[in-house]
Each structure stands twice: as C-alpha cells, then as structure tokens.
Amino acid sequence: MTTSISIFDTTLRDGTQGEGISLTAEDKLKIALKLDALGVHYIEGGNPGSNSKDIEFFRRAREMNLRAKLTAFGSTRRKNSNCEQDVNLKHLIESKASAATLVGKSWDFHVHTALQTTLEENLAMIYESIAYLKRHQMEAVFDSEHFFDGYKANPEYALSALAKAKEAGADWIVLCDTNGGTLPTEVHEIVTKVCSVIDANIGIHTHNDCELAVANTLAAINAGARQVQGTINGYGERCGNANLCSIIPTLQLKMNYSVVSDEQLKSLTSVSRYVSEIANMVQPVNQPYVGNAAFAHKGGIHVSAILKDSKTYEHISPELVGNKQRVLVSELAGQSNILSKAQELGLDVDAISKSRDIIERVKELEHQGYQFEGADASLELLLRDASGNEESAFTIESFKILCEKSEANMVTEAIVRVRVNGQQVYTIAEGNGPVNALDNALRKSLVQFYPSIADIHLTDYKVRVLDEKDATAAKVRVLIESSDFNDTWSTVGVSSNVIEASWEALLDSIRYALLGKKSSGSLEQWPESVGLSNH
C-alpha cells in the first residue's frame, strides 16, 4: 500500500511572482482546468485581498466544479488589530474557496525588522487568524515563512509559531524555505525534528535559489512531510518555486509514492507546454522529464546504444510522462544517427550507408557553421540528394536587392529571376527588409506553378553571428521555421552575407515544401506550368 502525497499547486499565485509572468483571470481559469485534469489536490488561485482580478478568478472558478480544492492566499491579520476588521481576511472568506493559505512569520528577525512588532503579537496574529478561518469552515493551511532560517536562528520561537497554528486548528502546517538557501541535509534534519514534536500534517514549500528546490522537497518527504507546494515548470519569485514537473514523476516513478494516476502522469509533458504557452514563457529545451531534449540523444555512441536498447541511456521510458525519444544529427553524429534518420524518412538506407561521403559532408557543413539539429528539412534534402533523388522543382538564376533610405523613408525591393520547367520568370516584390522582400518575390514567382506555396508562411526566423569577433564580416547562420497549417519544418543557411544565408534557408524551405513535405520515398509530380509572369 503506497503512501499518498498531496500536491499543492501555486502556479497561479507564487508562480506569477516570477519575472516576465503575468496572467489574466482568463489565463488562470484555463490553467486551472488543466491542473485539475493533471490531478493536483489544491489549486492556489491567487490573493483576493490584494488583487481584483483574483476576486474574479475565484468567482468564476467556483462554477467549474473542479475536483481539486480551490485555495485562496493571504497573510495573518495586521499587527495590533483584530481579524473581524481585517480586510484581507474578509476577502479570503468571501472568495468562498474551499481552503485558504495564511503566510505568517516564524523567523524572529522578520518579526522585528519586516513586521516591526513583538514576538508575542506575532504569535497572536497566527493563532487568531487561523482560528478565524476555522470559524468560517475553511480548510486552513499555515505557510510558515522563512521557517528554516527561523529555526536556525531561534528554534524555540520557530516551533512555537507552528504550535500556535496547530492549536488554532490548522489543517496543514507548511514549512517554507522562502529565501531558497537551505541545504537538503539541513531540511531533512529540521523536518525530522518538526515531525517529532508537532503532531500535524506537514507540508514543504521550497525555492530554487541554490538549484536545490526539488532535492529539498524530496528530503522533506523522506523526513515525514506529506504535502508538496510547487509550481508547473518551477515558475516563481527570483529563481522560482519547486518544479512540480520534476517532483511528481520522481515521487511516483522512483520513490513509490502515490501522487496522480498513471494516465494523468502521461499528460505531464502537455500540461507543462500548455502552461508555458499561456504564460508566454519559453519551455527550456533541456527541462527534466518534459523538455524537448529530455530524451534527445546526440553523441554517436549514445545513439548507437539506444538503438539497441533505450535503457542504455534513458532513466525512464519517455512515454510515462507523455514525452518522446529523439535522435539528433549533428557533427557529433556517428553513422547511426544518420542511418536512423534516413530510415525514418523512408530513404534508401543502403545507398546512404555505402557512401561515407554523406557523413563527411554533414560534418564538414557543421564545421562551416550549419546546424542540422534545428533544421530537419535541410538535412532531409541533403540525404535525398545523397540517395540519388536529384530532381529540382525550380532553379534560381539571379536576384537583386535594393534598399533605399532617405529622411524617414525606407524602401526595400527584391528582384528574382527563376526558371521553372524551362520557363524564365522575372519578379519584383517589396518587403519591410531585404529578407522579407526576397521571400515575397520568390513565392510570388512560384505560386502560379505551385499554388500550395500560398499556404506557406514563415513562423520563426533566427540569426546567429558565428565568430562575432569578425564583426560585420563574420559568417552568419540563419534558421527558418515554415508552416502550412498542417506541417512545420525548419531549414538553415550559412554565409558571411546575411542576405545570402537567409536566401539559402528560404530556398531549402520552398524546395522541401515542393517535395510534399512527408517522406514517401518518391517525389510528387508537378502541375502543368501556367505561363510567364512579369510582375
């Protein structure tokens, strides 16, 4: 019989204290639905006492019938006052959330310096505020702020704060490493002590200032804590809160705790990405468990081994958390990476494996600055050429770019000369920059032959100056991501001229699109040509 751990999600409250994160009430409601489906036990939605958009959140969330307990956040009553007159406490009750969290001081330094009150008054603030919540039938969670620093400075006082909360009826006593500076061995020792002297349900709330938030959480669980407070993707003040996307799978898959169902665990990767989209944050590629590269293998030896058995270089099966294995082709690739890629594309693997040239060619291009890892479509074109597929949908004869700036006006035009099925097409187009103009001109010339080109739009454009110390003479690498509503593909170009590098990537993108994009092992037929275009 496995032990259950309660997951207390504070993405919508503590998470929003991270730099660059700002969620509307609508954002919070969308995220709350996803969190509920994931199976967290508490959703701390915000602070209705200090934030009117949170009042709206609680009002609308109540109607969503979530399984998780909606929780409102606030602090102990103001000093030298009473609960009935405390506006913030009133808002907590009015939120009609199932539970409320009260943060209160347990570090004497904070009581004196930040609150500027007496140790006794602080204990009264804790006692009375928790009792107030209980009188109003709310589940009460006491967040003991700076508990570990407080315990190190004055253990008796810190413990007395917990005892007061317990006495008043707190349902959970949560020990917070608010400054994020405590070590796992210290957390284990202190939580063990707390569990031995306070008879209560203990929770843990850590911060990542030493990159130890997850470890500190696990140490506390080992010492007897049964609630984990954290956020999706570790969002939060400064270096963030404990990352639930790392904690949940570790507790469940490696420590034999019962947290969420196996099905819910499989949704972890998509929940992580969903929340990062809504929060407009980039999900780090190398994020544990759920990142795009969490199960991506680059070194040739690694790839060769995982093709024999994934357990050689994967600590869990990616599918358990809804992620997948990827093989990266780069300069570090051995033959295995390239062959496996070719196989994936349905190409003639024998032809490729007989040619050591292709591997040398890839390495040589990478040495010049090409990066095929992030440019799958360019790599596919290279492999197709190597396996003998050499037909071309069009050829470029020349292009010209004119930029003219005078006073406040900046005009950019591109002229492109293209040959399709023996016909020459000469086109001019404007753009708001040289690359945008080239893109417009190229597609304008080809769309009459290949109507599907009208659906293609560029969704991402990255420029990297290689060897920046060569300054404006340096080589530049351009990575382009294109999309046609069904499919997305990436291409690369390298040159000391940013226009030429962009051009190369653009051409690859179009060529790839005209392959039909999906690899079927044969090229699609092109439609009849329609005639010359002079504009």
Residues 429-488 that bind its own copies (CB under 8 A): 431-436, 439, 457-469, 471-474, 476, 480-481
Asked if 458 and 488 touch (Cβ cutoff 8 Å), the reply is no
Shortest distance, CB of residue 530 to its own copies, whole angstroms?
Answer: 26
Structure tokens at 145: 């702020």
Q: How far is the CB of 524 from its own copies (least distance, A)?
A: 26
Q: Which of residues 267-306 bind its own copies (CB under 8 A)?
A: 280, 282, 284-289, 291-302, 304-305
> Given the structure tokens 């347990």, which residue do they identify?
106
Which residues in the 47-86 window bind its own copies by CB under 8 A?
Answer: 50-51, 53, 75
Candidates 311, 324, 356, 518; binder of its own copies (CB under 8 A) is 311
Measured distance CA(143)–CA(193) in Å, rounded: 18
256 contacts its own copies (rule: CB under 8 A): no
Closest separation in Å from C-beta 332 to its own copies = 7
Phi, psi of 443 (to 5 degrees): -70, -30
Q: Report d(CA 430, CA 436) in Å as an integer.
A: 8
Give 98 or 325: the residue with its C-beta nearer to its own copies.
325
Give, in degrees to the nearest 5, the angle at Cα 384 between 383 and 388. Answer: 115
Smallest separation, CB 192 to its own copies (Å) = 13
Segment contacting its own copies (CB under 8 A): 198-206, 312-320, 335-343, 381-389? 312-320
199: Cα separation from own chain's centroid: 38
Sign of CA dihedral 260, 262, 268, 274: negative
Phi-psi region of 164 (alpha: psi -120 to 50; beta: other; left: phi over 0): alpha
Least distance from C-beta 270 to its own copies, angstroms?
Answer: 17
Q: Which residues 34-53 are close enough to bind its own copies by CB under 8 A?
A: 50-51, 53
Q: How far apart are CA 84 and CA 92, in angstroms?
A: 12
Residue 179 CA, distance from chain mean position: 24
Joined together, the tokens standing for residue 32 give: 């709350």
Closer residue to its own copies in complex, CB, 103/174: 103
Q: Interaction with its own copies in 356-395: which residues (CB under 8 A)?
A: 366-367, 371, 373-374
Nearer to its own copies, 405 or 535 (CB): 405
Q: Does 315 bind its own copies (CB under 8 A)?
A: yes
Residue 511 burial by CB count (10 A; 0-12/13-18/19+): exposed, middle or buried? middle
Q: Is 181 in the site for its own copies (CB under 8 A)?
A: yes
Under the binding rule (CB under 8 A), the answer on residue 319 touching its own copies is no
Angle between the N-to-C axes of helices 155-167 and 184-197, in degrees from 0 to 180, rounded to the nearest 10: 50
Question: Is 535 a residue that touches its own copies (CB under 8 A)?
Answer: no
Which of 67/238 has CB closer to its own copies? Answer: 238
Cβ-based burial of 337 (10 A; exposed 0-12, middle 13-18, buried ≥19): buried
Q: Which is nearer to its own copies, 22 or 534 (CB)?
A: 22
Binding mask 90-129 for its own copies (x = CB under 8 A): -------------------xx--xx---------------
Task: List phi, psi (to 5°) of 398.
Answer: -165, 165
